[in-house]
Structure 1
C-alpha cells in the first residue's frame, strides 16, 4: 500500500507539475501574443507618425521655397530700383525735368512710363530721337506705310521692298502717302549708309 501511495503521489505530483507548466506556458504564450500585438500597434503608430512628419516636411519645404522666391524677387526689384535711381541721378537737371513732366499726369491712375520698362533709354538724352532723319516734310496724307529693317550680313531686302512698293503705286497714291522706314540698328554709320542708298531711289 505504501508503494501504491508513493506511485499515486508521484502521479499526482507529475500531474500537478504538468498542470502548472501548462498554465505557465499558456500564460507565457498569451502574454507573448499580447507583447507582439503591442509591438505591432506601436510600430504602426510609429510608421503613421513618420508618414505625417514626411508630409509636414514636404509642406514646410514648399513654403520655404515660396518664401525664397519672394526674397529673390524683392532683391531683384530693389536692385532694379537702385539702377534706375543711379541712372536718374546721372542725368542733367533739364532732362530730369522733361522726364518728370512726361511721367507726371493729372490722371488718378498712374501708369508706368516707357522709362520704367526700358530704363536703358535714360542713359542718353537723345535716346528716343532717330540718329538719321530724312524727309520731305509732308503732312496731311491719307496713308502712312511703315517698313522696318535690320542690319543683315548677306543681303538687305529693304531697297527691293521699297522699289516694289513704289512701282505699284499710282501717281495720285504717291502724292497721298508717306513711307516711314525704321532702321533698327545702333550703328550710326550703317544707318547713314542705308539713308544714302534710299536717297538714290
Structure 2
C-alpha cells in the first residue's frame, strides 16, 4: 500500500528541527501520515548552526534562478534520502512537499520542472524563482500562504506565483493573511493541514 509522506523544507539559516512543533500539530490531526523535516545540505553561510539550500551571498533577482538550478541535485538527493529512510520513493508513494521561505523557492522549483512525482505542495512565504523551460505535471494541487506584512519576501511574490502556476496548469489555492509577518500562523497551519488531508484523500 502506498505511503503518504509530507516533507517540510525549512528556510535559510534554519534547521529541520525548528519545524517540529508544526509537524507535531499536523501529526495529531493525521497520525497515518509520515512527516519529515530534513536539514538543507549546506551550512548557513551567515554562521550559526543553521543550513541553507543555496547561498544568499551577493544574491540578486538576476542570479537567484541560476542558484536554484545549481541547488537541484543536492535538494533532490536530500529528499530521496528522506524517502529511503522510510522505505519510500517518489515512484511508489504519495509525497507532498511543504516549504517555508527558501524551502518554498525550492519546492516551487520542483513543481515547475516536473522532475519529481509530487502529489501536491504547500509554499509558505516564498517566491517563484526558477529557470525555464517549465514542464510541470499539470493538475498538481498547490497551496500558497503568505503574510501581507512580510518584510522579508513580499506577499506579492506569492500572488505572482499563483498566476504563473495557474497558467502552467496547476490547481492553485491561496491564503493571504492580514498583519502577518515572515512566519507560519495558526491559521496557515490549519489551512495547510486541511489541504494536505484533502490531497491524500483524493
Structure possessing the higher radius of gyration over alpha carbons? 1
- Answer 1 or 2: which has greater strand percent: 2
TM-score range for the pair, normalised by the shorter chain length: under 0.3
Higher relative contact order (CA 8 A, sep 6+): 2
- Answer 1 or 2: which has greater helix percent: 1
| TM-score after normalising by structure 2 | 0.20
